[in-house]
Amino acid sequence: MSGIASEIVRLFNTKEASEHLHMSHEYVRRLCREGVFPCRKVRGKFYMTTEQLNAILEGSN
């Protein structure tokens, strides 16, 4: 696949990530804010990519 569609990256906000990680929303936000989780801040909210979320999940096993 080429073009724009191949460049689309799925971003999870901290609420969505917390559901996948089975952690509270507040705890995930705090870990993002403290730099423990690899997150990007956009307009005051933290987001992480699928790859970042998977890395966190793999590290918890």
- What is the C-alpha separation between 45 and 21, in angstroms, rounded? 18
Return the pLDDT at 41.
95
- Radius of gyration of the chain from its Cα atoms, rounded to whole angstroms: 12
SS3 content of the chain, % helix, strand, coil (to 5): 50, 20, 30
pTM, 2 dp: 0.80
Return the pLDDT at 9.
86
The average confidence (pLDDT) of the chain is 90
CATH architecture of the domain with residue range 4-59: Orthogonal Bundle (1.10)
Return the pLDDT at 31.
97
Residue with more model confidence, 45 or 5 = 45
What order of strands is seen across the sheet that includes strand 45-49?
11-13, 45-49, 40-42
The mean per-residue pLDDT over the stretch 2-22 comes to 86
Return the pLDDT at 4.
65
User: 29 pLDDT exceeds 70?
Assistant: yes
